[in-house]
Chains A and B, each alone.
Chain A
């Protein structure tokens, strides 16, 4: 996993709550056995019509969001299935940070394991940023070391994230390698408990 300390980028606002993983990446794209190349299928049925043409009424297709790398969405983002194809497609498309009032549990873990930073931000702030990103262009500067977001308003917004996840992201650690350092403990557990 790539380390991430800071990220500055353009915001794409997705003003919907309970966005589920079937929407993020529909099941017909889950058959691949690779981890890469899923970005083209992100939000597929919202972005494209049945003939594969871009839907004009879906804002993500607006060129002003072409370089967006920060996604802002409504509450309970990522609910539904455990498919890691969802964060794979978001990351592959270019999203590095997702901001929402709340996230579904499994999606939260899956995203962090793929180097996407998820930040819980209260609804009122989400609404404010959502509006700015819809009506103009909003750029945010997210600093994971300092746990702050700079929206250019002159006031720094601070956020919280579990320290364990923060360290993993900052260092880009391979979690399995870390766990294997505890091999003695695992073996010991197996011998005494199982």
Chain B
């Protein structure tokens, strides 16, 4: 037996098409997901040079960033409309499968990949979108790329990439009751900062990760990019296999069993070494709320915003608190919100909606709060409606919408007004992300749901 290897090394080795001293590796791309915002210039580039899409069969497109979540017949912004029409035209011209706005497979690109079984262990998956890291939950090497790279993949089905360094983020112990995957990843970023993963692929290990459902694992891997890592992944196990069984794009019957055995063999070997190891004690993690303007600026629900005398990066913290309209040393539970957004590729899957619904059941959204739920895909929406989850939300005063990115980045009409304050289950709290002048607090679906009812942050562990 050779030297023990990490899953990252095992997958990478299989993908190298060409290597040469002094150059990055040329790696093969197994799946290319495409959406309307980062692709038009890439297709235009192909046309200008008379190039073709090499493997339309390994490419899949949908619209998510711009789509209206209220009335699909009516797109108010003509430029958004052109962008979506451009994608449809490009897909037709280059023969790429497209789930358009009215297609039952439509949804946020990182929600539909796994849902359709396009996402599989051991694949290299790219998309012109940084949260492509989500697909790493299945043991794929999945990362976001820019538009020039989108064009490169369309034309060649490959990319020049430096072999990544490996980082093991080891979670010791298990999460306490009421503490979620979202809280864990927010706590990791608060502890180690927004550039802890720059230049690395993160592998998440430990009991807390093993105990998570696939959807929870997706939430963790989704925010790898917020920790600076282009990709984050989790070694496949039986849960991975069972999640994929029967999905549309996975093999059937014996071929599935064979694939499953190959997937399981990708898991990191006992004793494999990483370039860097970081740990976090799961038992210490509380429900988290970000108070600042990057995802590392977070605190536990029992905590407060920082005191300026106690931080090293004083100027950054001062600017962040000023933008957020918060005082130093202000208790998190005293922060009052006026918007709630449950959605995004981080937390818009069926289990997220179920858990949030449990919190709001039989209660009413506070009258000063506008709350919306945006399912991650058309399919998630349909499933939730079968279970009556839509009714729970609507009875409580939430708006129930169609699938899309929506208020995560506010490219459509779902915008937080200037000075508005939003408890959001998305992944970025940058200045202006949810609307010019909007203030974002990143939280779990449960925390967002409870904040909608109370009008300020509360500890969901003791809330009923």
Q: How large is the interface on A (under 10, 10 to 19, 20 to 34, 35 or more residues)?
A: 35 or more
Given known pairs A27-B409, A35-B44, A185-B18, the reply for A176 and B151 (CB within 8 Å) is: yes
In the bound complex, what is the Cα–Cα distance between A90 and B77 (angstroms)? 26
CB pair B18–A182 under 8 Å, yes or no, is: yes
Q: Is B130 an interface residue (CB 8 A)?
A: yes
Closest to B14 in A: A193
CB pair B86–A33 under 8 Å, yes or no, is: yes
Given known pairs A22-B428, A186-B17, the reply for A31 and B83 (CB within 8 Å) is: yes
- The minimal Cβ–Cβ distance linking B421 to chain A, given in whole angstroms, is 17
CB pair A18–B77 under 8 Å, yes or no, is: no
Q: Is A76 an interface residue (CB 8 A)?
A: yes
* Total A-B residue contacts, Cβ distance less than 8 Å: 158
- The minimal Cβ–Cβ distance linking A131 to chain B, given in whole angstroms, is 14
Q: Is B147 an interface residue (CB 8 A)?
A: yes
Q: Is B204 an interface residue (CB 8 A)?
A: no
Given known pairs A33-B83, A180-B155, the reply for A185 and B17 (CB within 8 Å) is: yes
Closest to A83 in B: B38
In the bound complex, what is the Cα–Cα distance between A83 and B39 (angstroms)? 10
- The minimal Cβ–Cβ distance linking A185 to chain B, given in whole angstroms, is 5
Q: Is A84 an interface residue (CB 8 A)?
A: yes
Contact with A along B129-161 (1 / 0, CB 8 A): 110000000000001111111011001111010
Contact with A along B405-435 (1 / 0, CB 8 A): 0000111000000100000000010111100
Closest to A1 in B: B148
**Which residues does chain B contribute within 8 Å of A82, judged by CB atoms?**
38, 128-130, 144-146
Kindly identify, within residues 46 to 80 of chain A, every residue whose CB is under 8 Å from any CB belonging to chain B. 50, 75-76, 79-80
Given known pairs A33-B40, A50-B418, A83-B146, the reply for A20 and B49 (CB within 8 Å) is: no
**Which residues does chain B contribute within 8 Å of A3, judged by CB atoms?**
none
- The minimal Cβ–Cβ distance linking B294 to chain A, given in whole angstroms, is 5
Q: Is A147 an interface residue (CB 8 A)?
A: no
**Which residues does chain A contribute within 8 Å of B198, judged by CB atoms?**
76, 102, 104-105
In the bound complex, what is the Cα–Cα distance between A93 and B79 (angstroms)? 22
- The minimal Cβ–Cβ distance linking A91 to chain B, given in whole angstroms, is 12
Q: Which of these binds chain B: A108-116, A121-129, A138-146, A152-160?
A: A108-116
In the bound complex, what is the Cα–Cα distance between A28 and B436 (angstroms)? 10
Q: Is A5 an interface residue (CB 8 A)?
A: no
CB pair B313–A17 under 8 Å, yes or no, is: yes
Number of interface residues of B (CB under 8 A): 65
Given known pairs A83-B37, A186-B158, the reply for A105 and B199 (CB within 8 Å) is: yes
Q: Is A172 an interface residue (CB 8 A)?
A: no
**Which residues does chain B contribute within 8 Å of A102, judged by CB atoms?**
195, 198
CB pair A176–B411 under 8 Å, yes or no, is: no
Contact with A along B178-198 (1 / 0, CB 8 A): 000000000000000011001
Contact of B38 among A23, A84, A163 (CB under 8 A): A84
In the bound complex, what is the Cα–Cα distance between A79 and B418 (angstroms)? 23
In the bound complex, what is the Cα–Cα distance between A80 and B37 (angstroms)? 15
- The minimal Cβ–Cβ distance linking A52 to chain B, given in whole angstroms, is 12
Q: Is B303 an interface residue (CB 8 A)?
A: no
Q: Which of these binds chain A: B19-27, B94-102, B326-334?
A: B19-27
Given known pairs A32-B79, A76-B194, the reply for A176 and B152 (CB within 8 Å) is: yes
**Which residues does chain B contribute within 8 Å of A186, judged by CB atoms?**
17, 28, 54, 156-158
A contact residues vs B (CB 8 Å cutoff): 16-18, 20, 22-23, 26-28, 30-35, 45, 50, 75-76, 79-84, 87, 102, 104-106, 109-110, 113-114, 162-164, 175-176, 179-180, 182, 185-186, 189-190, 193
| Given A26-B432, A76-B228, A109-B145, 14 extra CB contacts under 8 A | A16-B316, A18-B194, A23-B430, A32-B79, A33-B82, A34-B44, A45-B432, A79-B228, A81-B428, A104-B198, A176-B51, A176-B152, A189-B17, A190-B28
4 closest A-B pairs by beta carbon, nearest first, are A110-B146, A33-B40, A84-B146, A113-B148
Ordered by A's residue number, 18 sampled pairs between the chains whose C-beta atoms are within 8 Å are A20-B294, A20-B428, A20-B430, A22-B409, A22-B433, A31-B79, A31-B83, A34-B41, A35-B44, A45-B436, A50-B418, A105-B198, A110-B146, A110-B147, A179-B160, A186-B28, A186-B158, A189-B17
